[in-house]
Amino acid sequence: MSNFDAIVIGGGIAGASIGYELSSDRSVCLLEMESALAFHTTGRSAATFLEALGTDQIRGLTTGSRAFLENPPEMIESAPLSPLPLLMYAKQGRTAAIKEFYEAVNRWVPNSQILDSSEVISYCPVMRQEHVESGFYDPNAMELDVQAIHQGYVRGFRANGGEIKRSEKVVAMSHADGLWQVETSAGNIYHAPIVVNAAGAWGDEIAKLAGVKLCGLVPKVRTIFMVNSPSGDATKDLPIVGDIDGAYYFKPEGNQFLVSPMDQTPSAPCDASPDELEIARALDELNAATTIAAKSVNSTWGGLRSFVADENPVIGYDQEVDGFFWMVGQGGYGIQTSPAVARLSAALVRKQGVPEDLSSRGVDASALAPGRASLKTAS
């Protein structure tokens, strides 16, 4: 069958989650250009649930996702959350930044606290005390099992009758008489009144094919690398630790540490590669601030995090072209916000408005809408 009620473009967490939500009451086809789902951004995520980070819209969507992740439906077969407290630290002279951050996020994470240097060391003994002036601590931050969440959504989507087409890159789109025609690299043609653009870094590329005004999406490379822990798995109970000025972060991964320079280098949509210069810089930062004494890197990878100008997601029907629904620009928060974003997107597709539990957290459809004034758009 080539006729559906909705076509979802993209098989990462956005596409899988909205596919699941929409397929509860309509026929849905999901198109993925790669031979495997979640090949790009989703499959390379650092997998954290941090309610303190992001814009207020992101924080509202993250806190609105916790209940789902703490008590997931049966389609998610293993617990997707495990404790991983967040520790942000300030170098000498930067305590003002810690206080400013605390004031901005305390309503979202009321159990958070400001730490002095001794308290920072007590939570993370590998830090060098002379390098630290103060810190911020969120005991409720979590680590995410990305595969369990993504595969759970895929499992639920299929159980609802959803169809997944792999290795089918969208190559042409047209809209006439209330129907989208979507042609793929496999030579297949699909029809539906609604197309959901969940193509991640390729979101504006899909918009071009559809003749839709672009939202100004900018993919940015994020580099990650692994180093050995000096004390084996004795570090497994440490928090995720980040510099308040965004120089780098690290977190325990068994008998290793995952480290990121927190780079955000603009890129065309691509199979992202790690930045070797950023790795060297972050390694210097890590060794200056900690006793980890990393001398070499075990493995590296890169992923794309896609943003628009105001760093809020773009969610909603296009204002000029009927039946084209945007679901892009999650900016690195796509996994942790996926339950709320999927519910919100499904509600907006159905023209039902923002779910009450999300609106009570300040989630505002107008702040996420395509064509909003805070976007830098191009034709």
DSSP string, 17-48: HHHHHHTTSS-EEEE-SSSSTT-STGGG---E
Which pLDDT score is estimated for 379? 42
Of 316-325, 351-360, 369-378, where does mean pLDDT reach its minimum? Answer: 369-378
Once rounded to an integer, what is the mean pLDDT over residues 217-238? 86
Residue 378 in this model has a pLDDT that exceeds 50:
no
pLDDT at 1 over 90: no
Q: Tokens 């250009």, residue? A: 33
**Exposure string for 246-266, b = 16+ CB within 10 A, e = fewer:** ebbbbbbbeebbbbbbbbbee
At 245, list the tokens: 């000025």
User: Which pair of structure tokens corresponds to residue 263?
Assistant: 């780079």
**pLDDT at position 255:** 87
**Averaged pLDDT for residues 86-101:** 97
Pairing of strands 28-31, 163-165: parallel
| Architecture, CATH, for domain 6-61+146-216+310-368 | 3-Layer(bba) Sandwich (3.50)
Q: What is the rounded distance in angstroms from the CA atom of residue 198 to the CA atom of residue 299?
A: 29
CA distance 324 to 180: 9
Domain ranges for the chain, please list them: 6-61+146-216+310-368, 85-140+218-307
Q: Which of 379, 358, 344 is nearest to 22 (CA)?
A: 344
- Answer yes or no: CATH 3.30.9.10 is held by domain 85-140+218-307: yes
Mean pLDDT across 140-145: 94
pLDDT at residue 39, rounded to an integer: 63
Q: What are phi and psi of 53, to 5 degrees?
A: -100, 160
Residue 337 to residue 330: CA distance in whole angstroms: 8
Q: Among residues 342, 354, 321, 338, which one has the least CA distance to residue 41?
A: 338
The residue ranking higher by pLDDT, 40 or 361, is 361
pLDDT band at 232 (very low <50, low <70, confident <90, very high): low
User: What's the mean per-residue pLDDT of the chain?
Assistant: 93
100 alpha carbon, distance to own chain's centre: 24
**Does residue 376 surpass a pLDDT of 70?**
no
Distance CA 172, CA 209 (A): 6
Whether the CB-CB separation of 144 and 66 falls below 8 Å is answered with: no
pLDDT value at position 117?
97
Asked if the model's pLDDT at residue 46 lies above 70, the reply is: no
Q: Are 169 and 160 in contact (CB under 8 A)?
A: no
Is the Cβ–Cβ distance between 208 and 214 less than 8 Å?
Answer: yes
Q: Is pLDDT of 236 > 80?
A: no
- Determine the straight-line distance between the first and last CA of the chain, rounded to whole angstroms: 34
